[in-house]
Structure 1
Amino acid sequence: MQPSFSELPLNPADPPYSAWGLWGHDDEAGTLNLLDENTVTQAAKEIQLGHRFSLNWSLSLPRTPQFQRHTKPFTHSLHFNTQKGSQIDGLRHFAYQKAGLFYNGKTKDDIIAPGSSAYAERHGKTYDASGVFAIAYDDLMACLAEQSQMSREPIEFRKGDILLVRSGYTQKYLQLAEDEERKLGHKMPPETCGVGQDERMLRFLWEKQVAVVGGDAPAWECLPPVCVSPGFLYHEVLLLVAGWGCPIAELLWLEDLAHACNEHGRWTFFFTSAPLNVPGGDASPANMVAML
C-alpha cells in the first residue's frame, strides 16, 4: 500500500518528500516498480489505430547543449559503436554492390545529407519556449480537463502511467538563428522553460502513482525557478536525491505525436522506452516510441 503524500518523508531524518525504503533499501528501480504486469497489459489496450511515433530527437541536437555540457566532447559515434554488440541493421547498412544504390534508389550522397495545436495556442497563451517560463499547475490541470472532455472517453490516471508535457521547446529551437542557439547553450546558470515548481504538482504525481515524467524541455522543470521560494526542485525530489526514484525524460520530440493526438482526439497511448544497457550509466538515449 503506497503511503499518502502527507506521510512523506517516510523517515523524518530523510530529505523532504523522499520515499527512501518504500520498495526496499536495496531497490534500484524506484517508481518503475509501479510498472507491473497488469499495468503493461492494460497499457497495451491503448493501441487502437496502429500509429507509431518516435519520440527521439536527433542525436545531433541540440548543437550547443545547456548545463555546460557543450564544454565536454559531444560526439556519439566515438563513444559507442552501434555494431559492436546486439544490433539491427538499418536500411543504409548495405547497398546493391554494382549499382551502389540503397533502399528506394538512394545514393550514398542522398543518405549522408541531412534531411530537410496545442492547449496554450488554443487559449492564446503565448510565451518564448526558448526562455524562462514556468508552466503553471493550474494550466496543466486545465489542459488535462480539456483533453479529457475532448476525448472519446474521459482520461483517468492509472498506477504506473507516464506523464508527458509538451512545452514547444524543440519546435522553437529549430527556429533559432545560429547565434541565438549558441547564446542559449552558453547561458549560466541555464535558463529553460518547463513545469513550474509547485507542491500541488508533487502531490498530483505521487497520488496518481506516476512512474515516469517527460517532455520536450531541457530539464522538464523550469530553471531557474520563477516562483517565490519553491523550496524544492523536481530533480531533487523525483530523481537526484533519489527521493522517489522517478525517471525524468527530457528533450523528447513530441510534435508529431501532439498533432496526431489533436487529430484523433486521444491523449492517451501506449508508451515504450528501451534505454541502452550500460551498467553503471547515469543516463541513456531515450529510445522511446508512442503508439496510438
Structure 2
Amino acid sequence: MAENQAPEMRELLGDDAPSNWGKWGPDDELGALNYLDNAETLRGVAEIKSGESFTLQIHMGRSESPGDPLWPGREGIKRQNVLDESSWDGDGAPAFPGGLHYADDTALVFLQGSTQYDALGHVWYDGKLWNGYDARSTVGGMDKASVLPIAEKGVSGRGVLIDIARFRGKPYLDKGETFNHNDLEAAAKAQGVTIEPHDILVIRTGWMKYWYELNNPEKFYEGFTEPGLTYSRELVEWFQQREVPNLVTDTIANEVTYDPESGVALPLHCALMRNLGIALTEIAWLEPLADACAADNRWTFLYTAAPLKVVGGTGAPVNPIVIR
C-alpha cells in the first residue's frame, strides 16, 4: 500500500484501542515496568542455574566494516581523543606531581544509536504521549515520559528468550518477514517453555547476525524493511493480558518496519508503548545467549538492564546483563 493511502494511526488502532492509561495513576511515567516489583526480581533470580552471564549491547563505535547498525538518518558515535600520549610531545603539556600521563575523550552520540531503551514518550499520535501527556511536553526535551524514570528504576525480572529464527530453521529472518503472538506461543512450545505473566520477552530474529555477516550496509538498507512482529488487535490484547513489561529484540525497531496490511509505519510503537506503556529495547546482541540456551534447552534467566540517566532523553544506550 502506498504511503499516502495508509490510514491514520487512530483509524488503524481504533478509538477503543487497548490502553493502560491511568492504571498506575495520572502521573505515571513507568508504564508496564510497574509490574516488575521485588517479587518479580526474585522470580528472575530463581532462574539462575549455572551463573553464566551475557551482555547484550552491540559494539558502539566499531571502526571495522560494517560499522554500527542504526535507524536510517541516525549516525554512529563520534568519539575523539582530548588527551593521549601525544599530548606530552611538545611544550605546554599538562604536568602532575609524580609525572602521570592519561587519556581522555569526548563523544557525540545519538542516544538511540546503539542498543537502547526507548522513552515511553518517544513515539505518539493524536498529540498525546503515554498516559495522556501532551505531546507539546516534548518540545526542547521530554518533560514527561522521558527515559529518566526507566533509568532510575532499572529493569530486573524473569526473561524468556523466544528464538523465532531457530524455530523457523533459519540463521536469520528475511527482510520484511513477519510473525505474531501465535508464532511466539508455537515457538515457546517447541522450546518447552511457557511465556508467563510479567516475563520480559526477548525475541531473536537473527537480524544483528545478518548485519555483521552480510557486511554490506548498502544492501542491508536497500528497501529497508526489517522483520518483526506485525500489528493486529489480537496481538495487542495478548500483550496486555499477559502484562508484558518489556519487549527486547535484535532488530532496530522491534517490529516489521511497515505493516504489510495497512502500510502504516511502526504501529506497534504506538499500540504497545504509547497505549500500553510497554518498554521497548532495540538492537540487542542475542547470538551467544541464544546458542547457550539452545545448548542446554534452558530459555529463561534473570534479565537486568539500566539505561543511562539522561534527563529529558527520548532514549538512552544500555548494556543489559543476562544471568542464567
TM-score greater than 0.5 by the shorter chain? yes
Moved more, 206-215 or 158-167: 158-167
- Between structures 1 and 2, the one with greater strand share: 2
Alpha-carbon contact 2:59-2:68 (below 8 Å) kept: no
Residue deviations 1:50-83 (CA, integer Å, cap 9, x gap): 0001111111365362332249979982459xxx
SS in 1 for 2:315: coil
Distance verdict in 2 for CA 1:279–1:144, change over 3 Å:
same
Equivalenced residue count is 232
Distance verdict in 2 for CA 1:74–1:18, change over 3 Å:
farther
Q: 1:169 aligns with which of 207, 216, 226?
A: 207
1:1-292 to structure 2, matched below 5 A, reads 16-60=17-61, 63=68, 65-70=70-75, 77-79=107-109, 125-126=169-170, 129=173, 131-148=175-192, 155-178=193-216, 181-185=217-221, 187=223, 190-227=224-261, 233-239=267-273, 242-292=274-324
Question: Take 2:40 and 2:165, find their aligned partners in 1: how far apart are those partners?
Answer: 33
TM-score, structure 1 as length reference:
0.69
- RMSD value, Cα: 3.2
Question: Take 1:64 and 1:30, find their aligned partners in 2: how far apart are those partners?
Answer: 28
Alpha-carbon contact 2:185-2:195 (below 8 Å) kept: no
Question: Take 1:186 and 1:70, find their aligned partners in 2: how far apart are those partners?
Answer: 17
Distance verdict in 2 for CA 1:281–1:73, change over 3 Å:
same
How far is the alpha carbon of 1:29 from its aligned partner? 0.6
After the TM superposition, list the runs of 4 or more consecutive aligned residues in structure 1 that deviate by more than 3 angstroms: 61-64, 70-76, 118-130, 155-159, 183-187, 227-232
Distance verdict in 2 for CA 1:162–1:64, change over 3 Å:
closer
SS in 2 for 1:69: coil
Residue deviations 1:234-279 (CA, integer Å, cap 9, x gap): 100122xx21211111110000000010111111110000111111
- Percent identity over the alignment is 27
Q: Which residue identity does 1:144 align to in structure 2?
A: A
Alpha-carbon contact 2:51-2:323 (below 8 Å) kept: yes
Question: Take 2:46 and 2:315, find their aligned partners in 1: how far apart are those partners?
Answer: 29
Q: Which residue identity does 1:258 align to in structure 2?
A: A
Q: Which residue identity does 1:56 align to in structure 2?
A: Q
Alpha-carbon contact 2:180-2:230 (below 8 Å) kept: yes
Distance verdict in 2 for CA 1:291–1:198, change over 3 Å:
same
Question: Take 1:196 and 1:122, find their aligned partners in 2: how far apart are those partners?
Answer: 19
Uncovered stretches (5+) of structure 1, i.e. residues with no partner: 1-12, 81-117, 149-154
